[in-house]
Amino acid sequence: MTSSIKILRFKYLKRQRLLTLALIITAASLLFSITALSLLGFYKGFTAYLGGEGGEDIIAVYNSKSRTPYTGSVPAYLAYRLASVKGVVATSPEVMAPCLINDQAAFLRGIVPESFTKLNPLKIVRGSMFNLSDFGSAMVGERIAKRLGLNLNDRLLLIGVLADRYMELWVKGIFASNSIMDDEVLAPLHVGQWLRGMDYGSITIIRLKVDRSTVSLSEVFEKVASEAAQPIQPIPGQGKSAAQEPVMPWTIRRFSIEDIGVEEASKYMKGYMERYGVTREALVTLSAAVFLFSSSTIVIALKTVLSQHKDELSLLRALGASKRLLKVDMLIKLLPWTFTASAAGFLIASAILGVIQGLGYMQVLSHTVPFWLDPSIAALNFILAFTLVSVSVLGSGIE
């Protein structure tokens, strides 16, 4: 046994012959990494879409019957009612309006500025934030500004997609949020309602920033349920300047509690994606399947390497090395090659995605798909590659 181990100290695997195998592993890892990073970037970006900086402290009140997060409708006055709940720090009524801006697909988000910025602090890159009464002004995210070539005081022609309406706005400011909201246009709430084709008593969603140590999801839902059960009553004190008074005259309307959902913002977005089978596990599985489909080239390359080293392996067998010992030794020698090749594929994929994202080509629903250098993807990439190499080597017929 000792003599066999001494024999295996020889570098019988030629570096030049292993280079082709390493390049093929790099290519397969590149394909897997591009698929996994882009798909998981899409998943992470959209599940965090409504979360702002509060994470699980952001709650969404939405229409549970809606097929997408952008097409629902909830009573706007609930934003005022929910502001009175103990533990609710801020409420942000919002309207999502898909539209065409200068013939380019985009989203306009109608907001109440002072409420929205409590959930999503914005960095004003240029210009200033509009007021709720600024009917003809808007803020644009820095990415959509770059994509459409927009500057301060430019005019925007917005054409509604879900309603046969159009509007002209001027750019009052450009903002950065370090999120996919940088691909959106922000405008006063009533602008979004008009472009979306809604009446002024309806909005798409209400986001709440809450103190989870004081208020729970069930308490927020109970407040919504109590409003659904009560007869229509006017909101007291409209027009006053108190902190909890409505910022605009909401229209009160009846609604069914079965149509309203209350959920953490991230789970709300996950629910919509999982409804169509889009989960993190499914995306990782799909990426792994892409890698395995491309694995035939690795198997062929490995068989070629073994064939090229047939004479060296036969000599080692004649000197007393067992088949099992040879296979284990080859795996040990191939380990650094596999690690280097899979790491190279991951890094090249990250660089390619960074360039594509910078050029504005990675978009879904008019939002740029973010991606992160996820260590778990790099680890899975190496595990898949080395597992494939191991199965091929251990299953080979060394004479």
Q: Give 57's DSSP letter.
A: G
The domain boundary residue, chosen from 237, 252, 267? 252
Question: Is residue 57 domain-resident?
Answer: no
Same domain, 107 and 203: yes
Question: Which residues make Cβ contacts (< 8 Å) with residue 395, sequence separation at least 6?
Answer: none
- The tokens describing 47, both together, are 């599940």
Question: Is residue 62 domain-resident?
Answer: no
Question: Is residue 30 domain-resident?
Answer: yes
Are 95 and 204 in contact by the 8 Å Cβ rule? The answer is yes
Same domain, 301 and 204: no
386 closest CA partner among 13, 9, 39, 22: 22
pLDDT score recorded for residue 242? 37
Question: Is residue 31 domain-resident?
Answer: yes
How many CB atoms neighbour CB 212 within 10 A? Answer: 14
Question: Is residue 241 domain-resident?
Answer: yes
Same domain, 41 and 145: no
Same domain, 293 and 238: no
216-263 pLDDT per residue, tens: 888 999 999 988 877 665 555 544 433 344 455 567 778 888 889 888
What domain range includes position 20? 2-47+279-394
Q: What is the 3-state secondary structure (H, E, C) of 173-236?
A: EEEECCCHHHHEEEEEHHHHHHHHCCCCCEECEEEEEECCCCCCHHHHHHHHHHHHHCCCCCCC
Question: Is residue 239 domain-resident?
Answer: yes
- The tokens describing 174, both together, are 């450009």
- Greatest Cα pair distance, the chain, in angstroms, is 97
Question: Is residue 387 domain-resident?
Answer: yes
302-336 pLDDT per residue, tens: 777 777 777 776 777 676 667 777 788 888 888 89
Question: Is residue 288 domain-resident?
Answer: yes
- Distance, in Å, from the CA atom of 182 to the CA atom of 117, rounded to the nearest integer, reads 14
Burial (0-12, 13-18, 19+ Cβ within 10 Å), 149? exposed
Q: How many structural domains comprise the chain?
A: 2
364-379 pLDDT per residue, tens: 666 777 777 788 889 9
